[in-house]
Chain A
Amino acid sequence: AQSVSQHNHHVILSEAASLELGCNYSYGGTVNLFWYVQYPGQHLQLLLKYFSGDPLVKGIKGFEAEFIKSKFSFNLRKPSVQWSDTAEYFCAVNAPNQGGKLIFGQGTELSVKP
Chain B
Amino acid sequence: ETGVTQTPRHLVMGMTNKKSLKCEQHLGHNAMYWYKQSAKKPLELMFVYNFKEQTENNSVPSRFSPECPNSSHLFLHLHTLQPEDSALYLCASSALGGLVFVGTGELFFGEGSRLTVL
Contacts and interface: CB of A to CB of B under 8 A. Distances in A.
Interface residues of A, number: 27
B109 interface: yes
Contacts of A71: none
Contacts of B90: 43-44
A45 B2 contact: yes
Contacts of A104: 35, 42-43
Contacts of B104: 32, 49, 51, 94, 96, 100
Contacts, number: 82
Interface residues of B, number: 31
Interface string A9-53: 100000000000000000000001010100000111110010100
Interface stretch (B20-28, B63-71, B94-102): B94-102
B61 interface: no
Given A49-B106, A100-B31, A106-B42, 16 more contacts: A9-B40, A32-B105, A36-B109, A43-B90, A43-B112, A44-B109, A51-B104, A92-B105, A99-B50, A99-B56, A99-B103, A100-B96, A100-B104, A100-B105, A102-B45, A107-B40
Interface of B: 2, 4, 31, 33, 35, 40-43, 45, 48, 50, 55-56, 90, 92, 94-96, 100-107, 109-112
Closest 4 A-B residue pairs measured CB to CB? A94-B105, A100-B103, A99-B101, A104-B43
